[in-house]
Structure 1
Amino acid sequence: MTYALGTRLIAEFIGTAIMVILGNGSVANVDLKGTKGNGSDWLVIAFGYGCGVMIPALLFGSISGNHINPAFTIGLAVAGLFSWSEVLPYILVQFAGAIVGQLIVVAAYKPHYDMTTNPQHILGTFSTISASKSRLNGFVNEFVGSFILFFGALGITKAPFFQNNLGTAHLALGFLVLTLVASVGGPTGPALNPARDLGPRIVHALLPLKHKGSSDWAYAWVPVVAPTLASICAILLYKGVFMK
């Protein structure tokens, strides 16, 4: 069944919002002062992001394709697997969903934002930060993680193994993201998604939060450019080798 563009855009908006709520919400639970999960470990965040991708995939994978990521949308279009005429609408609703999702995270955790005095912990609940303060390392990390994500996502959803059970494929996407966050997420966060980083970073810049500090705009281009380039490379490679 093919859904109308408007329906697919609603799915992309809601899916991206859910991804940010569950993903950045897990970061807030770990890093903000006074929460029930404060001080718990990285696996909480990995599970939050894994489920943050898996649940929208199960909800909307058969409706919009569950891109929820501008880099994926652009990579598919470059490879001829998605219409260029729908790229801009998809990207706009993805960013809108990320912004709304982040506003919901802030509303849910507002007392704990007020209690938290570490600006890095606050920013980390919105966007990514290079742990080494290196844009080069951040770029490498984001590119590698994103390449595996997009190559894996296309492989999982297009492979003959899953063709009769795409629901299982969408479950696998969640485990892929969980594993990426757990294994290569240490240096940056990671973003793997321009909307997931830039949308909430804009919210961080605009909201009058206590102790929020800098939005780190000097680094902001990394989680936008690196995932987009990785997506193009990964999808072209998969299509060229395995979709002949």
Structure 2
Amino acid sequence: MSPGEIFVWELMGTAMLTLLGCGVVANVTLRKSLGHNGGWLLVNFGWGFAVFAGASIAAPSGAHLNPAVTLGLAVNGQVSWSQVPVYLAAQLIGAAIGAGLCWAAYKMQFDTHDDPAGTLGIFSTGPTVSSAPWNLVTEIIGTFVLVFWIILSPGATGGPDGVPEFGNAALGYAAVTFIVIGIGASLGGPTGYAINPARDLGPRIAYALLPIRGKGSANWGYSWVPVVGPIVGGVLAGLLALALPVH
């Protein structure tokens, strides 16, 4: 697959991911939305199915949607390092586009929300208890679970042109939905489980640029945690999987 094709498929898939993922948080958060107060499990399920939709669209490129996945697969030898910048650029740009579309879908709800300064959480993650080292640990662990599972999932093999082919038996990309929901339900409480640098940074950039009435800070001081943590977790998963004799 050419770099241009990888870029297009990854961009479209990641845009769908953040459109639906940020969308479920907007639905739960914004007061004049029918999903208001839908709760944490609705957010978990929404993000899980957002991953399914995005991965299904981006299937031709291997459906990484996540720099941590791309780097983990590269470390593991399943993706060429020459392709990594293309994946990362597409994922970041796609994530920002999807977040912008989410804002457009909920524009009137944003305009009438009674806490506009507290809307960053619709787009990006943040800790419930601020401690950069431990927030980093949480993101490393959550992302490690995701990438380690992807690499070792049944039938995962290196495909043509370095694009991995995920088996996951008959479940296909629905299997990824379950692991993302599981991570959110089990490990998402402390930081909101970014587990994806593009998913957090792209929408954070979009939030900073969008004309959201009364919006608050983009919290750039925390923004490095959901970037560095997932990258470390993804690389560790790739290295450990590479060291396993069964792989």
Same topology, TM > 0.5: yes
Q: Secondary structure of the equivalent of 2:4?
A: helix
- Distance in 1 between the 2:177 and 2:140 partners? 19
Report how many residues are paired: 240
Q: Do 1:30 and 1:37's aligned partners in 2 also have CA atoms closer than 8 Å? A: yes
Cα distance in 2 for partners of 1:199, 1:89 equals 15
Query: Relative to structure 1, is the Cα distance of residues 165 and 142 closer, same or farther in structure 2, using a 3 angstrom cutoff?
Result: closer
Shifted more, 193-202 versus 68-77: the winner is: 68-77
Counterpart-to-counterpart distance in 1, 2:178 and 2:117: 28
Task: Identify if the C-alpha distance between structure 1 residues 113 and 8 changes in structure 2 by more than 3 Å, giving closer, same or farther.
Answer: same
Name the amino acid aligned to 1:220: S
1:212 aligns with 2:209: no
Alpha-carbon shift at residue 11 of structure 1 (Å): 1.1
CA distance in 2, matches of 1:128, 1:165: 29
Are the aligned partners of 1:156 and 1:173 in contact in 2 as well (CA < 8 Å)? no
The percent identity for this pair of structures is 42
* Correspondence for 2:57: 59
The 1:26/1:121 distance shift into structure 2, 3 A limit, reads: farther
Query: Cα distance 1:157–1:164, how it changes in 2: closer, same or farther (>3 A)?
Result: closer
Q: Is the 8 A contact 2:119 2:215 kept in 1?
A: yes
Residue type at the aligned position of 2:220: W
Give the aligned CA root-mean-square deviation in angstroms: 2.0
Q: Distance in 1 between matches of 2:44 and 2:184?
A: 5
2:135: which partner in 1? Answer: 138
Hey, what does 1:229 align to over in structure 2? 232
Residue of structure 1 in register with 2:87 after alignment: 90
Normalised by the length of structure 1, the TM-score is 0.91
User: Residue 152 of structure 1 corresponds to which residue in structure 2?
Assistant: 149
The separation in 1 between residues aligned to 2:167 and 2:90, in whole angstroms, is: 30
TM-score relative to the length of structure 2: 0.90
Provide closer, same or farther for how the CA distance between residues 165 and 41 of structure 1 changes in structure 2, counting only shifts above 3 A. closer
Instruction: Give how far 1:167 is off.
Output: 5.0
Report the counterpart of residue 202 of structure 2 in structure 1.
Answer: 199
Could you tell me which residue of structure 1 aligns to residue 14 of structure 2? 16
In structure 1, the gaps of 5 or more residues are: none
CA contact (8 A) 1:16 1:94 kept: yes
The AA in structure 1 aligned to 2:85 is L
Question: Partners in 1 of 2:34 and 2:190 — Cα distance?
Answer: 25
What per-residue deviation string (whole Å, max 9, x for no partner) do you get for residues 51-98 of structure 1? 11112323333x111000112112222232211111111111111100
Counterpart selection for 1:123 from 100, 120, 124? 120
